[in-house]
Amino acid sequence: MVSLQLDHVFKQYGEKTAVNNISLQVEQGEIYGLLGANGAGKTTTMRMVLGLIYPDGGEIRYHGKPYSNELTRVMGYLPEERGLYPKIKVSEQIVYLARLRGMSKQDADKSLRYWLDRFEVPEYYDKRIEELSKGNQQKMGFIAAVVHRPQILILDEAFSGLDPVNVELLKATVKELRDNGTSILFSTHRMEHVEELCRRITILHRSNTVVQGDIKEIKSRYPREEVVLHTVGEVERLESIPGVKSVERNERGYQIKIGTPDTAQLILQHAMAQTAVERFEIKEPTLNQIFIQEVGESNE
Amino acid sequence: MSNNLGTIIGFTFKNKVKTKSFLITTLVLAILITIGMNVPYFIKQFSGGDDGPDRIGLLTGSGQAVASELEKYAAASGNKDYTFVKYEGNAEEPLKQDVKDGKLEGYLKFEEDPADSSFPKVVYAGEGGMGQGLSTYLQGALQNVKTAMIAKDALTAEQIAALNKPVSLDSLDLSEEAKANAGGDTEKERNQKIMNYVTVYFLMILFFSSNMMTGNMIAAEVTAEKSSRIMEILITSVKPLNQMFGKIIGIFLVGLVQIAVFGVVVVANLMLPNNVGMLQEFHLSLTDLNISVLLYGLAFYIVGYFLFAVLYAAVGSIVSRTEELGQAVMPITMLGLAAFYIGIFSISSPGTMLIKVTSFIPFTAPTAMLVRIGMGTVPTWQILISLALLVVSIIVFGWLSAKIYRTGVLMYGKRPSFKELRKAMKAYKI
């Protein structure tokens, strides 16, 4: 079932096109990745989905219907700049936000306590936001986005600024939400999170869609051009194998760039003829590599 | 959706009242009011009303006759604040010495006046000039003495008293149909007029100050929500119109609480033993309070508040950072000031064209119409038209402000131009 559908959505700010004809579908229980460098149009796209700004062209449908005020109850949003009142207690403001989205006070309070326990920080209930660290403020922002059990969840750079432990915690939570049927639109410029969480992605570059589709399928479209070889002894004359572009030695073995897939087999035979092979892998391109190739710019 | 409004009002109110800045401001103002109300009493205490009357020396010299008459007058008038002490002769030094020693408040010396041979020129000498009270007293005393000396025995004491009695000049407003009966106001009516004056004055100050204070609070809250980006979450949760009015009403209640606190402080201070006499002194009594003036005043106060509040909210939404806010709210502050001063300056002349016109302009009506109701006469239908105009303009400006609000809160960076605002406003529903 399609929860969220963007159809040739277009947005212009003055002369500048912010989002150019983006189309995508998020299904129920799916985490959809929206990728791109800073200023590529991710946040603008999300704001249009939220109804914060209106598209200049195209259409956005939620469960098949256009935007309406009732949607505020089923949507959750974590903005990139966390959006919470610094001087107000966690409990007060999150319960307030949940009530604005149609929850009862008791229900909201119960849900908040559940989430605080889930993140193992029940003591934050009575703390003011400004007393918390950046990472913990972000967790509170996340709770504010999910406290009313939204069906459609918009996460803008949800993991930025978190330490590895909290990234894992949040990742696990996001997966759990997905498994419970929440549709999640997830933006980031960190590729490693996407490969773990998302099935389908859209890469935006300067307002345009440059790559779109299933991650596995996207990867299969790009040739496998890298071989990892770990061996017991030395392997001589790897460079002389036809099709090998470059060889890089590291502590464990070799990283070899190749031109055609057939070359990989030649490398394996060549190595086995000389010594015992511990590891041999024809690596599929990482999203990061694809991204750099497509966007033609370095990405952090 | 409709119960959202209540949620927002409650949240705004609760959190504003709890802030340290609000508690401190309220406390400081309450203390200032208390000090201000007791200052007259303390001044009286310290100015030494208890250690007998101020002694004024008289250097008789060439003004022997005048000095004697002054003493006579002082004895006859029964004034307890000042007393005259005669110093015979022409030597000024002893008087100077006595002033220095604090035995005398000051002294009078009499000099020949070349322009007027009938009465000498009087000079007061003392440390640090003459106070208002002393000046008035001496002026009156010398005038009496002069009259008595010139009239000598040609007039009887009654005739002289009659001469010195000030002329009474009352004004009678002919447009006051009901009071056209000649003979002027009765005592009761005069007192009511004074009470009306006090009521109008008080309501205007209340309107102005609470408008400025709460208005700035509203604008600052909106800007803070915008800069902390919580606005993005709020806008996706609640209709901007509800959000804006929830905030405005919430802060209005905060303002009312503050006014109530001040009211209690004022009443408590009035009940202090040293202040009890003050009201009687001014012949003020709450029974003279004109209920209709008060009710109209409150009605205009409330609608006026909302009209200004929606504008403050709109301005708050356009600005991205709190630092820029002061400059941005300037035009509204000016408008508020204009309304206040038109009211204050017209309070004694409530029939001018200026006040008639401004009493129908929504922004100035809350004060201008109040002056006309309290101090002049105005047909009821004009009051109702003015109120209706205010309500209509609240709806119009409320709608417009909600549009600006919806648009402004998503515009960051530089302040948007009118053109940009207009273009963006077309896009949003409220």
* Nearest in space to B234 (alpha carbons), one of A96, A66, A132, A48: A96
Residue A208's DSSP bridge partners are A205
Classify A174 as helix, strand or coil: helix
Classify A244 as helix, strand or coil: strand
Backbone angles phi, psi at B354, to 5 degrees: -55, -50
Q: A129 with A85: CB under 8 angstroms?
A: yes
- The Cα of B33 is separated from the nearest Cα of chain A by a number of Å equal to 30
Task: Give how far Cα A161 sits from Cα of A39, A81, A187, A270, B120, Å.
Answer: 18, 11, 14, 46, 91
DSSP secondary structure, B241-309, as one string: HHHHHHHHHHHHHHHHHHHHHHHHHHHHHHTSTTTHHHHHHTT--GGG--HHHHHHHHHHHHHHHHHHH
The number of beta carbons lying within 10 Å of the beta carbon of residue A269 is 10
Name the residue facing A75 among B228, B236, B410 (closest C-beta).
B236
**CB proximity A81 to B under 8 Å:** yes
Chain B residues within an 8 Å CB radius of A108? none
pTM higher than 0.90 for the full model?
no
Chain B residues within an 8 Å CB radius of A101? 237
Q: Which residues contact B107 (CB under 8 A, 6 or more apart)?
A: B56, B57, B58, B59, B87, B95, B98, B99, B124, B125, B126
| Contacting A residues, span 138-157, partner chain B, CB-CB under 8 Å | 144-145
Question: Would you write out chain B's pLDDT as a tens digit for each of its 430 residues?
Answer: 456 889 999 999 998 888 888 899 889 989 998 888 888 777 777 765 445 677 888 887 767 777 887 887 777 777 777 888 878 777 788 888 888 887 788 888 887 777 777 788 888 888 777 777 788 888 888 888 888 777 777 777 778 778 777 787 776 666 554 444 444 556 777 777 888 888 888 889 888 988 888 899 999 989 888 888 888 888 888 888 888 999 999 999 998 898 889 889 988 887 877 777 666 666 666 667 778 888 898 899 999 999 999 999 999 988 888 888 888 899 999 999 999 999 988 888 888 888 899 999 999 999 999 999 888 888 889 999 999 999 999 999 999 888 888 887 777 655 667 776 776 666 666 5
* Nearest in space to A235 (alpha carbons), one of A205, A280, A196: A280
Q: B241 with B247: CB under 8 angstroms?
A: no
How far, in Å, CA of A42 to CA of A194, rounded?
14
Chain A residues within an 8 Å CB radius of B423? none
CB contact under 8 A, B237 and A101: yes
Candidates B232, B235, B406, B429: best to mutate against A (most CBs of A within 10 A) is B232
* Nearest in space to A19 (alpha carbons), one of A5, A33, A39, A3: A39
By residue count, chain A amounts to 300
- The Cα of B428 is separated from the nearest Cα of chain A by a number of Å equal to 8
Residue with tokens 């498994």: A179
How far, in Å, CA of A89 to CA of A124, rounded?
9
CB contact under 8 A, A100 and B8: yes
The number of beta carbons lying within 10 Å of the beta carbon of residue A236 is 11
3-state secondary structure A123-169: HHHHCEHHHCCHHHHHHHHHHHHHCCCCCEEEEECCCCCCCHHHHHH
- The Cα of A219 is separated from the nearest Cα of chain B by a number of Å equal to 36
* Nearest in space to B104 (alpha carbons), one of B117, B113, B94: B94
